[in-house]
Each structure stands twice: as C-alpha cells, then as structure tokens.
C-alpha cells in the first residue's frame, strides 16, 4: 500500500473537489483507492492522503498523466446526421465521436452547441472523462455545477485544453514540487472552470475589471481546475435551495474512505462518519444568469 499526502485548504471548494478527483484518477491508473483528511480541530488548513495498492505514488502518476494529456471533445452521431453534430475545432480542439458515435449511450442529451460537449483527457497511461457540466438538473436530478459561461460559446473542452497547456512543461524540480503540493501550482490563466476562488473577483466590488487592462494577468491554479472537474464526474456538492444558484454545501471526513463513500460525503452525506460541512457562496461577476464565481466558503 502506498500513501501520498498533500496539503489542502478545506475552505477552498476546488481543492476539496480536487481531492476526490485524485481518488477518481487513482482508480483508473492505480486501482482501488482510499482517501482521508487529517486536521487540527478548528483549523481549515489540513492534509489529504490518497492510498492505493502497489508501488507507484498515485499523485505522481496522476500529475505526470496531466502533463502529457490531450483534451478531446466528444460528440454523438445522431440519426440522419452526416457526421459529428457539433465540433470544437473552431477552438483548435479535436472532436471525435463518443463510444463510436452511439447517441443512445451519450452521457446526457446531445447539446445544442459545442460549449458543453464532454471531454476526454487522453494520454499514454489511459483516459479520463469529464462531462458533469452537461447534466440537466430537471431531467437528471443532478446539478451540473457549471460556473463558467464561456464568451462566444468557449467550450469546456477548450478550458481543459488551456489548463493542460499550463502544466505541459512541468519536469524536474517543478514536477516534484507539483506532486508534493499540486493545489498551489500557480500560472497566469486567462480563463478557467471557476473552481478555485483565489482567482475569482466581482468587478463591481473590486472597483475595476482586470479584463479591461491588458497588462494585468490573473493567476490561476490549473491542477485545481482539472482535478476538481475530474472529481465532479461522479459526485456533486449539495445545492440546499433549488431556487438559489449561489449557494452550495460540501463535506469532508477524517475517516479513511473508499472512493464510493467519498463521493457521497462530498455531497454532504455523513454515512455515520465524522464530517465537517462547509457552505460556499457564489456571486455573478457579470450579467446575472451567466457565469458564477465562488466568493467565500465557511464552515457550518
């Protein structure tokens, strides 16, 4: 059994989602995984340990995969269509048919635009799927936790591609540092999924918009964004009030849990284990009803 431990801020939802993302990816590359948080009572600076059988460090395996992976958009071939219905080629992202083009097993209704096409991260070690943003809360009963809007229909596949590009050059000491502390790997980032609130801002509150100043570059955390998206593939934070799009709850546990149970705990279920619950607050950085950004997270 190999244990890999990293620092995590429990008040950063993206980092907590990313911890589950590490477990999901470890299941693919290393086999069955377990995860556990450790903290000092009352503190939100904590550690997270993911454990797998074998000799390979699971976090190194996952980070190395992300440094070599390519993002590809997936779509279905629908009846009477001559080819793939939508494409992300406009944004220089390869688009291919999902599972041979079988629309009947597409993870959600075939979208009306390329914006929410599922994404496959493909590399020498295997593949990971990201498709949570296409879920319909009405028909599927699951919130899609899609915080980004996408100027001009900028698709999730392009956001994933952009984040991968920021970690593609990691090697040597930089790679070792990223493996030891993946959630603090920072890089200039013009757009993101919006999971790490260290990059968030509301122009009316800040007094200006960085987008209006070409000499200002926002710093983002690409491994948080990628791992959080992977973590939301099979689990979601709870939205307590279905009429309120700006509040979610999530939980963590200091019990050693397999991935299946860790998914349920993220959504606020205790399952009889000791948990800490946090409420995340969002806001509209621009027009209401479009993109959302995380502005705070506090323990309940």
- 142: Cβ–Cβ under 8 A, 6 or more apart, which residues? 135, 236
Q: Is the pLDDT of residue 59 over 70?
A: yes
- Find out whether 31 and 55 touch, Cβ atoms under 8 Å: no
Provide DSSP, 168-209.
TT--HHHHHHHHHSGGG--EE-S---S--GGG---HHHHTS-
Report d(CA 256, CA 24) in Å as an integer: 15
Q: What is the pLDDT of residue 241?
A: 93
Q: What is the pLDDT of residue 75?
A: 83
Write down the number of H helices and E strands in the chain. Answer: 8, 13
The structural domains of the chain, with segments of one domain joined by +, span 2-299
Q: Is the pLDDT of residue 81 over 90?
A: no
R_g of the chain, CA atoms, integer Å: 19
Measured CA to CA in angstroms, residue 259 lies from 124, 128, 264, 282 at distances of 24, 16, 9, 27
Q: Which residue has the higher pLDDT, 244 or 75?
A: 244
Residue 282 phi/psi, 5° resolution? -115, 170
- Find out whether 110 and 104 touch, Cβ atoms under 8 Å: no
Q: Tell me the average pLDDT across 96-111.
A: 69
Neighbouring C-alpha atoms within 13 Å toward the C-beta of 169: 4
Report d(CA 229, CA 251) in Å as an integer: 17
CB atoms within 10 A of CB 191: 18
Q: Is the pLDDT of residue 207 over 70?
A: no
* Per-residue pLDDT band at 218 (split at 50, 70, 90): confident
Report d(CA 129, CA 119) in Å as an integer: 6
Pairing state between β 95-102 and 70-77: parallel
Q: What is the pLDDT of residues 241-265, one digit of tens each?
A: 989 999 999 999 999 999 999 999 9
Q: What is the pTM of this model?
A: 0.91
Measured CA to CA in angstroms, residue 208 lies from 111, 216, 228 at distances of 35, 11, 28
Provide DSSP, 75-106.
EEE-TT-SS-S---GGGT--EEEEEEEEGGG-
Q: What is the pLDDT of residues 5-52, one digit of tens each?
A: 999 999 999 999 999 999 999 999 999 999 999 999 999 999 999 999
Q: What is the pLDDT of residue 201?
A: 57
* Per-residue pLDDT band at 204 (split at 50, 70, 90): very low
């Amino acid at each position: 059994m190999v244990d890999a431990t990293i620092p995590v801020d429990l008040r950063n939802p993206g980092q907590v989602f990313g911890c589950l993302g590490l477990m999901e990816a470890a299941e693919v590359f290393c086999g069955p995984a377990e995860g556990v948080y450790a903290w000092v009572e009352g503190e939100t600076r904590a550690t997270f340990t993911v454990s797998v059988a074998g000799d390979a460090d699971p976090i190194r395996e996952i980070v190395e995969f992300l440094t070599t992976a390519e993002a590809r958009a997936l779509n279905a071939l629908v009846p009477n269509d001559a080819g793939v219905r939508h494409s992300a080629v406009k944004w220089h992202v390869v688009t291919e048919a999902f599972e041979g083009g079988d629309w009947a097993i597409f993870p959600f209704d075939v979208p009306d635009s390329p914006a929410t096409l599922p994404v496959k991260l493909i590399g020498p070690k295997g593949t990971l799927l990201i498709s949570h943003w296409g879920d319909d809360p009405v028909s599927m009963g699951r919130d899609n936790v899609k915080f980004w809007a996408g100027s001009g229909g900028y698709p999730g596949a392009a956001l994933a591609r952009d984040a991968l590009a920021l970690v593609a050059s990691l090697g040597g000491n930089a790679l070792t540092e990223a493996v030891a502390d993946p959630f603090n790997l920072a890089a200039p980032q013009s757009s993101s999924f919006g999971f790490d609130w260290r990059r968030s801002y509301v122009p009316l509150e800040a007094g200006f918009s960085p987008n209006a100043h070409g000499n200002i570059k926002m710093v983002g955390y690409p491994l948080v964004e990628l791992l959080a998206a992977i973590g939301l593939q099979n689990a979601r934070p709870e939205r307590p009030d279905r009429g309120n799009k700006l509040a979610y709850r999530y939980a963590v546990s200091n019990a050693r849990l397999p991935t299946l149970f860790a998914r349920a705990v993220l959504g606020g279920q205790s399952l009889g284990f000791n948990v800490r619950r946090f409420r995340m607050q969002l806001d509209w950085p621009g027009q209401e009803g479009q993109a959302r950004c995380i502005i705070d997270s506090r323990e309940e």
